[in-house]
Amino acid sequence: MKISVLAGGKSREREISLRSGKKVYESLKKQGFNVIQVDPDADLISKLKKNKIEVVFNALHGRFGEDGCVQGLLEMAGIPYTGSGVLASALGMNKVAAKRIFQARGIPTPNFFEITDTSNIEKEAQRISRVFPYPLVVKPVSEGSSLGVSVVKEGDNLAGILKAAVDEYKDVFVEEYIKGREVTVGILDEEALPILELKPKAEFYDYKAKYTSGGTEFILPARLSKPLYKRTQEVALAAHRSLFCRGYSRVDIIVGEDHISYVHEINTLPGLTDTSDLPAEAAQAGISFDELILRILQSAFTK
């Protein structure tokens, strides 16, 4: 069976995707598979059909690769692919849509405020200041890897930060700041993996902390009491299921000082680089990187 690893693309996470794709390609090659790596463009389906690809391992991150666009193309072409389908991918990429579903399903998530009037940022900033205490968090609606995330403290120019975010990312929202432990929970074959606690050297687990060696201390398993540990895994699995995710995902959570596990977001195509969270969690569960890649590959045929 001929496999294509999709990596690269045109999102802001292109370089991370190329790193993930390289690791996946090397693993599949080592395991004896007939595999090629493809950097997708408008002629993606033609390239796949020309190379007689029978299954796609999707190692794309960010817009166009993780948001349902590529998934829709592959569905129409009848080519099996790893990871979640069109709906789950679109919901997972849109943080506001995901948070609405979490709220409807009773899954804890930080309160948020949508920026709806981009023509009057000063007015929006005043409204936010009346609703949220400082610090608060400004985020793009549809970006991954903590791109564009800002922690805004009292005395900072909130209107200026909002305007810069809107100019750069167009759709942004403001989220309540939850003080607590940053953890992440991988989901594989509908089961929660060991919880990874993240202790970044920066103010929070930003892009640099995620992908720079030594930028974050990884604590496995997370330092949570047994009941809270179990509850956090249950919350992660509930979030995964609420968006109709399939195969695998990674759920980012803040365990607050009130001992509530607040879901920040779901990554439907989590990173598979040397410093990525999901492989570390799998290793803690006794799953080697090669086995992880094989199980993700098998998920393309168990939908």
Cis-peptide, bond into residue 133, ω within 30° of zero: no
Enumerate the active-site residues.
Answer: 13, 145, 211, 250, 252, 265, 267, 271
List the chain pLDDT tens, one digit each, 303 residues: 899 999 999 888 999 999 999 999 999 999 999 999 999 988 999 999 999 999 999 999 998 999 999 999 999 999 999 999 999 999 999 999 999 999 999 999 999 998 877 778 888 888 888 888 899 999 999 876 567 788 999 888 888 999 998 888 888 999 999 999 999 999 999 999 999 999 877 666 555 655 556 677 899 999 999 999 999 999 999 999 999 999 999 999 999 999 999 999 999 999 999 889 999 999 999 999 999 999 999 999 986
Which domains can be identified in the chain, with CATH numbers?
Answer: 2-82 (3.40.50.20), 92-108+179-301 (3.30.470.20), 112-176 (3.30.1490.20)
Interacting residues of 59 by C-beta distance below 8 A, sequence separation 6+: 5, 6, 7, 17, 20, 21, 24, 269, 272
Of 273, 279, 275, 276, the closest CA to residue 296 belongs to 279
CA atoms within 13 A on the CB side of 188: 24
Rounded to two decimals, the pTM is: 0.90
